[in-house]
């Protein structure tokens, strides 16, 4: 698929996700998907339902992942004070430390990768943020959450 930005972006994203998974498994024994869950909880996904929506996975899958992360001492899970079947999520101190260490490691590795391209990091980051903002604007205009 020569000269196909659509395919290239998909391929880049998939390969970066796989690389992140390899790096985090090797260095921290933490799969990338679980790191993303911890990251999202730390950035304001307060319930299991919200976490499922932001990860784009089912609530049962999220429930299993939350259980594993809680068992590992990385997440605190509690009943929602408002009642119902909602479960509140928060990072433990170990979870916060894990998120910070993994973020730093991935940032370091991917910044080095960007440097290999000869494209200035700030330029690449700026273009990426603009692309994400345009996607957000497009989704909002279409009425998607």
Q: Taking the model in full, what pTM does it have?
A: 0.87
Instruction: Kindly calculate the radius of gyration of the chain based on its CA atoms and give it in whole angstroms.
Output: 17
* Alpha helix stretches (DSSP H) within the chain: 5-28, 32-42, 48-55, 59-71, 93-117, 121-141
Find out whether 75 and 51 touch, Cβ atoms under 8 Å.
no
pLDDT value, residue 70: 97
Task: Kindly report the number of other CB atoms within 10 A of residue 12's CB atom.
Answer: 10
Alpha-carbon separation of residue 141 from 47, 65, 129 (angstroms):
27, 33, 18
User: Which CB contacts under 8 angstroms, 24+ apart, belong to 60-68?
Assistant: 62/37, 65/33, 65/34, 65/37, 66/37, 68/34
pLDDT value, residue 144: 62
Per-residue pLDDT for the chain (145 aa), expressed as one digit of tens each?
Answer: 567 888 999 999 999 999 999 999 999 999 999 999 999 999 998 889 999 999 999 999 999 999 999 999 999 999 877 777 788 999 999 999 999 999 999 999 999 999 999 999 999 999 999 999 998 898 888 876 5
Find out whether 31 and 102 touch, Cβ atoms under 8 Å.
no
């Amino acid at each position: 698929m020569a000269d196909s930005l659509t395919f290239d972006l998909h391929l880049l994203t998939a390969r970066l996700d796989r690389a992140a998974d390899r790096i985090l498994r090797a260095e921290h024994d933490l799969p990338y998907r679980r790191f993303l869950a911890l990251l999202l909880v730390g950035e304001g996904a307060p319930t299991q339902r919200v976490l499922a929506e932001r990860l784009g996975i089912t609530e049962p899958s999220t429930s299993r992942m939350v259980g594993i992360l809680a068992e590992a001492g990385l997440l605190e899970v509690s009943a929602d004070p408002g009642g119902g079947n909602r479960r509140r999520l928060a990072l433990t101190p170990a979870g916060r430390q894990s998120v910070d260490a993994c973020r730093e490691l991935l940032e370091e590795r991917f910044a080095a990768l960007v440097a290999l391209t000869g494209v200035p990091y700030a330029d690449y980051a700026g273009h990426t943020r603009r692309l994400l903002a345009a996607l957000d604007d497009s989704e909002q205009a279409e009425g998607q959450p």
